[in-house]
Structure 1
Amino acid sequence: MNTAQSQDLSKHHWEDRLILLLTEDLENEDFTNQLQELEMGLKELEDRKVVVYQVYQHQMKVGFAEDAQWTTATNLYKKYDEKDSPFEFYLIGLDGKIKLKDYNCISLDKILDLIDSMPMRKDKIRSKS
């Protein structure tokens, strides 16, 4: 995967919701706890069209696969990194706008509830009924 493609989040616009997990340290407690929290709800996240990006300094990988390759992500890290925080969580909606930003681990229930309260998700739920 080349660098330009790996950092182009616009390919997800109107297709996927994104969770970006930024960390300065792969052993950061909030980062590792957040990964565990998200892994418990893989089916629910997939149903809600959520793609998870792990961003470690100037590298990134998509999803949770142990064998997934880290690729260069300089621009992605620069765009979202807040210098005074060792961990950052972003939920980005289908429209490409940040819906939630936090510096702590967020519960899976809170994430799912927030997504389920979004207008496009409500429409999808209604159309299934």
Structure 2
Amino acid sequence: MNRNGKHNSRFLNTRAAAEIFRFHLTIIAIIFVFSSFISLNAQELEAYRWNNRILIVKAEDAQSTEYIKQIDELTNADENMEDRKLILYQIEGTDFKFTDFKKPKKKEVGVVTEGFSEKYLHTKNTFEVILIGLDGGVKLRQDEFLDKESLFRLIDSMPMRMNEMKKGKLE
């Protein structure tokens, strides 16, 4: 209040403007957070056909021993994963993390859609490893740990990979 017993309208206007500004910042922050998440759907994997092999490691519990062991096994083989054109999707419940070994700094997170789950994941399995080949077909599906040597042997035995290795020796 001023000396005349009236409210100082300039003070109220400044305070109201600050509150409106804070509200707008909050809305912008919420929009930014939600727009940074992407969803993983079956059509998204089509974008990788003929360019990348996709390895999906799924666990209902990100803290499970088997899941942690599997992820450690794969993330400690960056060069071999890149050489075989592998992209890794780590699915934890309904969330996923994405790693492209050609661009290891590029990591994405998001939510797995129901359509993707129905097409690729077996819901009865709490742990699952799935390899999708360059042609988009499922080449391996198992519900136990997969060591990297077995994974690389399997990929190296595929006709398209043999052609890649043959071309690599010629260059």
Q: Same fold (TM over 0.5)?
A: yes
Question: How does the TM-score come out when normalised to structure 1?
Answer: 0.88
The 5-angstrom pairing of residues 1-129 of structure 1 reads 3=38, 6-7=40-41, 8-63=44-99, 68-75=107-114, 76-129=116-169
SS of 2:145 mapped into structure 1: coil
Q: Which of the pair is proportionally richer in helix?
A: 2
Asked if the contact 1:22–1:77 (Cα under 8 Å) also holds between the matched residues in 2, the reply is: no
**C-alpha distance in 1, partners of 2:61/2:124?**
13
**Runs of at least 4 residues off by over 3 Å:** 1-4, 64-69
**C-alpha distance in 2, partners of 1:118/1:12?**
17
Quote the RMSD (CA, aligned, Å). Answer: 2.2
TM-superposed CA distance for 1:113, in Å, is: 0.5
Larger Rg: 2
Question: How does the TM-score come out when normalised to structure 2?
Answer: 0.68
Give unpaired runs (5+ residues) of structure 2: 1-35
Asked if the contact 1:28–1:86 (Cα under 8 Å) also holds between the matched residues in 2, the reply is: no
Q: Percent identity?
A: 28
Relative contact order, higher structure (CA 8 A, sep 6+): 1
Give unpaired runs (5+ residues) of structure 1: none
**C-alpha distance in 1, partners of 2:107/2:81?**
19
What do the CA deviations read for 1:86-115 (whole angstroms, capped 9, x no partner)?
A: 100001100000111100110100000011
